[in-house]
Amino acid sequence: MSSIQKLVASYKDKNLVLRIVTGLIIGAILGFAARSTAGDIAAEHTSFLINVVAFAEILGNLFVGALKAVAPILVFILILSSIVNKQYGSASGLKRVVVLYIVGTFLASCVGVAASFLFPTDLALSNVGAAENAVPASVWIVLKDLLFKVVDNPLNAIAHGNYVGILTWAIGLGIALKFCTNETKKIFTDLSEAVTKIVQFVIQLAPFGIFGLVASTVYQTGVDALLGYVRIVVVLVGAMAFVALVVNPLIVFAVIKKNPYPLVFTCLRESGLTAFFTRSSAANIPVNLNLCKKLGISDELSSISIPLGATINMAGAAVVIAILALAAAHTLGVRPDFWTALLLCVVSAVGACGASGVPGGSLMLIPLACSLFNISNDIAMQVVAIGFIIGVIQDSAETALNSSTDVLFTAAADMGRQRK
């Protein structure tokens, strides 16, 4: 094995979160160092640091460009394959679980929108001035643009990042191909896995991209950018905590008609805590199945509802999509009215259901929500990149909420069925 191969293997063996944190810290140090010496013309190392920041900015732009390139085809293939291959089964109580998944995801997106209005956040974005000219005036203009995006040519939608058109064609083709042969379904499964591998490769390069983005942003804006990151993390985690400790218990109470908190805390402790560190709903499926056995839930129900929940029960993703999309809108000076905000809740919930199975999947659906406000794909992808910067905390909290809710709603549906 050559030295380059050993270096690549060593890089891949390191934990991705650790690599992202390292890139973030080094980028911040470089940005502060270059900014602090920028005014000192006599300093010999000033031009060197500025050149390093310029190179780092290229790495950041390349990372954003890679995300921008892969996101449209990823969304199209992932949602299409999910609809074509989804098997919902007929276990007793499953319909109730699916309804709870849908209601929970929608209410979570509503919480995300409400949190964004209560705690508006500005993001450090470039080319904001040019984007502000395209702000829609009312919900009717949004709906008109939405309808025209729906009937866009599918190839044009993918080429130009029209995520509403992409989503429409993916759902339409998925439904049309629902009863195709198993061989055809296998093709879409293979395509989905292939695109996922490409995305995984791009995500492996995230530490370099985040290093470049943080270095250039801190150099240009100073500590304000880092404070903006902290604020958006606090809003995100706070909204998810509200969903976990207030919204979900209310939903469960409506079903089981008794104190939901013992069940809520059990699910958070035994499922959410594990998912927080694994950062994967799929990897947490065995933990959830084991917890279902402890809670006395039938294997017939849990064996279907838990894997299904890992793919469509995405309350955390809905919160992330709504809050980051509205943060971008707020930065551009957009002030959505009630009906536009309600439309965003629906889009965030629908988009979240297609966010599973890919690292950073919820982030890749942000452009879909941003398109409601006529925000360009370039700006939306900058928001996605910011999502990766804060993803060390955001992704862990999101997965913990998603995975613990799978067990919570399955248990609630089973207990509600037994009451009757």
* pLDDT given at position 355: 57
How far does the chain reach from its first CA to its final CA, in angstroms?
65
Distance CA(12)–CA(205), nearest Å, equals 10
Distance of CA 202 to the CA centre of its chain: 16
On whether the CB atoms of residues 27 and 59 are closer than 8 A, the answer is: no
Q: What is the pLDDT along the chain (420 residues), one digit of tens a residue?
A: 566 666 666 666 666 767 878 888 898 888 888 887 765 554 555 577 888 888 988 988 888 788 778 778 877 887 788 778 766 555 556 788 888 988 998 899 899 999 988 988 877 776 555 444 444 445 566 567 667 878 888 888 888 777 778 878 888 888 888 888 888 888 888 888 888 788 778 878 888 888 888 888 788 777 766 777 888 889 999 999 999 999 999 999 998 888 999 999 999 988 888 788 666 676 677 778 888 888 888 777 777 778 777 777 888 888 988 898 888 888 887 777 777 788 888 877 776 765 554 555 677 778 878 877 777 777 888 888 888 778 778 888 888 898 899 999 999 888 877 765
Is 0.95 topped by the overall pTM?
no
Q: Residue 134: its pLDDT value, please?
A: 47
Q: Tell me the three-class secondary structure of the chain, residue by residue.
A: CCHHHHHHHHHHHCCHHHHHHHHHHHHHHHHHHHHHHCCCCCCCCHHHHHHHHHHHHHHHHHHHHHHHHHHHHHHHHHHHHHHHHCCCCCCCCHHHHHHHHHHHHHHHHHHHHHHHHHCCCCCCCCCHHHHHHHCCCCHHHHHHHHHHHHCCCHHHHHHCCCHHHHHHHHHHHHHHCCCCCHHHHHHHHHHHHHHHHHHHHHHHCHHHHHHHHHHHHHHHHCHHHHHHHHHHHHHHHHHHHHHHHHHHHHHHHHHHCCCCHHHHHHHHHHHHHHHHHHCCCCCCHHHHHHHHHHCCCCHHHHHHHHHHHHHHCCHHHHHHHHHHHHHHHHHCCCCCCHHHHHHHHHHHHHHHHCCCCCCCHHHHCHHHHHHHHCCCHHHHHHHHHHHHHCHHHHHHHHHHHHHHHHHHHHHHHHHHHHHC
CATH code of the domain occupying 89-154+223-419? 1.10.3860.10
For residue 354, the model assigns a pLDDT of 58
- Per-residue confidence (pLDDT) for residue 292, from 0 to 100: 86
Q: Which two tokens stand for residue 174?
A: 């998925």
Identity at 367, one-letter amino acid code: P
pLDDT at 283: 65
How far apart CA 420 and CA 256 sit, in angstroms, is 10
CA dihedral 114, 118, 119, 120 (to 10 degrees): 80
Q: Determine the Cα–Cα distance for residues 410 and 292; give it in Å rounded to an integer.
A: 8
CB-based contacts of 348, cutoff 8 Å, min separation 6: 109, 112, 113, 318, 321, 322, 325, 369
3-class DSSP string for 295-344: CCCCHHHHHHHHHHHHHHCCHHHHHHHHHHHHHHHHHCCCCCCHHHHHHH
- C-alpha distances in angstroms, 410 versus 6, 252, 272, 419? 46, 10, 15, 14
Spatial distance between the Cα atoms of 383 and 387, rounded to a whole number of angstroms: 6
